[in-house]
A and B are shown apart, each in its own frame.
Chain A
Amino acid sequence: MELKDLYRDVILDHNRKPRNFGHIDQPDASAEGHNPLCGDRLTIWLKMQGDRVADVRFEGKGCAISTASASLMTEAIKGKDKASIGELFTRVHTLLTDQDAVASPELGKLAALSGVREFPARVKCASLCWHTLNAALDQGGKTVSTE
């Protein structure tokens, strides 16, 4: 277990300067995520063009892993349709939980999250934003919880 595998430069950079941070007025969809264990909260807003995410923003308070993961996610999904976002989520999930997973090229910068799996207590920090995104895409806009 190596600390520098968890806190890679990409992660620290996205924590310091989260991309797509803020909210969208009149979003087409939004959802709130909550990790009751640590109190992390996160809201995601989406602007859709048909099946495609035209714009995405998030706000929240959380640790470096949860903030960076959300920031990286927003960059990765912008312009993608639901089906490719679903595929990406599966890849991220595998990366976070499967010890033997090799980061596929499709993951791009999201591969920086591969160190999280060495820290099981932190996997939920990284996955909160994805569960919240799924809730927003499914609409309903209800609060999702990691528990």
Chain B
Amino acid sequence: MAASVMPAPRPKAYDVQRVRRDFPILARQVNGKPLVFLDSAASSQRALPVIEAVDRYEKTSHANVHRGVHALSQEATEAFEGARDRVRRFVNANSTREIIFTRGTTEGINLVAQSYARSRLGRGDEILITALEHHANIVPWQIVCEQVGCTLKVAPIDQRGELIFDQFEKLLSPRTKIVGVAHVSNALGTILPVKRIIEAAHRVGALVLVDGAQAVPHAKVDMKALDADFYVFSAHKLYGPTGIGVLYGKEALLNSMPPWQGGGDMIKSVSFERTTFNDLPWKFEAGTPNISGAIGLGAAIDYVEGLGIEAIAAHEQHLLQVATEALTRIPGIEIVGTAAHKASVISFTMAGVHPHDIGTILDSEGVAVRTGHHCAMPVMEFFRIPATARASFACYNTVEEIDRLVAALNKVREVFG
């Protein structure tokens, strides 16, 4: 079974109603109102072609991969490895040997921390991250610092939620071995200048891991152009399944790294005296992989590229602009994160109302937003707030839904007086 479907011809104008028909869940009601789903930055909804690709695989082609000579195993292997090649083309990597399937962004970062950093870094070495990071790009580095005695440094942000680049550069030194940076901030939407960050880090000989979880749904990422050493992302923010993600790594680096987890599939031969590890990418994929997840990811990439990632981004930027203007007009609402370049994410607070109360009242109006610290407690600490409400916009959201958000926020004001 082929993992790819032919991309649909790109419509002249972006037809959001047509897009919405590809997402069955958007037809449901929540609390008696049509669902307005503004929480795609936490997890986007599944496109029908993704659901169907996974369903088709489970119904017709499932078997374990890389193992049997029988037809199903070969079909499953072809579909699984086909999805890997689909990812390679999507991120413009040199080779499928550079595409490691993981459980998601978090696992990709942990893999690099435990395989690369743990085996190479020691006392006196530094890992540099930014103050915008998600916990997934903080905690794995803290763990490895604890293990090997290296130091975690944090580059500061300003009140708009932008990285202060001068200070970032000042923190770079020959001691810096790894720079871990988000491509797009999940809590604030800030798009970071990753190309400049990578160039600056490379000048001091540091490697760069980019957390692309919030970037891949909104922008074309190109590994050859970016020159990142590692780039990680998850399928479920890209209209694909949960439990599957990608670690891109430069082949020479991945080759030089020890395996992270041991088990089946990551070996060539095993005896009690000696084990020979498998080649890339399988060296880093111990155990039976998430086959249907990989196939779903392949289908999600087909879907996104069928719509055109630039067309999606343009649509989302329009929504971001409309929503930013609408929220600015509501008394008491303050937008947290006002960077010049943002993805379609708006974090906000409302004077006198805790974000959880906003979330509950919005939910009663059928409007789903994220509330809380967004797994970025240091960001909340920086702005001296316990939490925010966050609306995020995806390929299927509409201007009418922003009207519903505004009406629901007015309802919050009504309840709280």
A83 within 8 A of B: no
Instruction: Out of A7, A39, A125, name the residue touching B372 (CB < 8 Å).
Output: A39
Binding site for A on B (CB under 8 A): 31, 353-357, 360-361, 364, 371-373, 377, 380, 386-387, 415-417
- 7 residue pairs A–B, Cβ–Cβ below 8 Å: A3-B361, A6-B360, A7-B357, A12-B416, A38-B386, A39-B377, A63-B357
Out of A1, A3, A40, which one reaches B386, CB within 8 Å? A40
* Distance from A86 Cβ to chain B, minimum over Cβ atoms (Å): 28
Identify whether the interface residues of A are mostly helix, strand, loop, or mixed. Answer: mixed
Give A63 to B373 CA distance when docked, in angstroms: 13
Q: Distance in Å from the Cβ of A43 to the closest Cβ of chain B? A: 14
Q: Is the CB of A1 within 8 A of B372?
A: no
Q: How far is the CA of A125 from the CA of B386 in the complex (A)?
A: 14
Interface residues on chain A, number (Cβ under 8 Å): 20
**Complex-state Cα separation, A91 to B387, whole angstroms:** 31
Check B31 against A1 for contact (C-beta < 8 Å).
Answer: yes
Closest CB of chain A to B364's CB: distance in Å? 5
Bitwise, A24-51 to B at CB < 8 A (1) or not (0) is 0000000000000111110000000000
Whole-angstrom CA separation of A117 from B353 in the bound complex = 21
- List the A residue with the shortest CB-CB distance to B359: A121
Cα A122 to Cα B360 with chains together (Å): 9
Interface centre among B356, B372, B373 (most CB of A within 10 A): B356
Cα of A7 to Cα of B356 in the assembled complex, Å: 13
Whole-angstrom CA separation of A125 from B106 in the bound complex: 29
- Please state if A1 and B415 are interface contacts (CB–CB under 8 Å): no
**Complex contacts, A121 vs chain B, CB 8 Å:** 360
Complex contact A64–B364 (CB within 8 A): no
Are the C-beta atoms of B387 and A12 separated by less than 8 Å? no
Known: A38-B387, A62-B386, A64-B357. 19 other contacts (CB 8 A): A3-B360, A3-B361, A7-B416, A12-B415, A12-B416, A38-B356, A38-B372, A39-B373, A39-B380, A39-B386, A41-B386, A63-B354, A63-B356, A63-B357, A64-B416, A65-B357, A122-B356, A122-B360, A125-B356
Is B364's CB under 8 angstroms from A3's CB?
yes
A1 to B57 alpha-carbon distance, docked (Å):
40
CA A37 to CA B380, docked complex, whole Å: 13
* Complex contacts, A40 vs chain B, CB 8 Å: 386
Q: Which chain B residues lie closer than 8 Å to A67 at the CB level?
A: 354
Task: Specify which chain B residues have a CB less than 8 angstroms from the CB of A63 in the assembled complex.
Answer: 354-357
In Å, the complex CA distance between A120 and B373 comes to: 20
Residues of B within 8 A of A38 (CB): 356, 371-373, 386-387
A119: which B residues are within 8 A, CB to CB? 360
CB-defined contacts of B416 to chain A, threshold 8 Å: 7, 12, 64
Complex CA distance for A111 and B3, rounded to whole angstroms: 57
Complex CA distance for A98 and B42, rounded to whole angstroms: 31
Chain A residue with Cβ nearest B381: A39
Instruction: Give Cα A67–Cα B386 distance, bound, in whole angstroms.
Output: 14
Bound CA span A77–B332, Å: 35
List the B residue with the shortest CB-CB distance to A119: B360
- Set of chain A residues within 8 Å of B387, measured between Cβ atoms: 38-39
Q: Is A93 close to B, CB under 8 A? A: no
Docked Cα-Cα span, A122 to B373, in Å, equals: 16
Nearest-neighbor residue (CB-CB) of A64 within chain B = B357
**Contacting residues, chain A, for B377 (C-beta < 8 A):** 39
Chain A residue with Cβ nearest B32: A1
Q: Which single residue of chain A is at the shortest CB-CB distance from B371?
A: A38
Name the residue on A nearest B415 (C-beta): A7
A61 at the B interface (CB under 8 A): yes
Q: Which 8 pairs between the two chains have the least Cβ-Cβ distance?
A: A63-B354, A63-B356, A39-B386, A3-B364, A64-B357, A63-B357, A7-B415, A39-B373
Looking at the assembled complex, report how far the CB atom of A121 sits from the nearest CB atom of chain B, in whole angstroms. 7
Q: Which residues of B contact A6 (CB under 8 A)?
A: 360
Q: Contacts of A41 on B, CB cut-off 8 Å?
A: 386
Shortest beta-carbon distance, A77 to chain B, in Å? Answer: 24
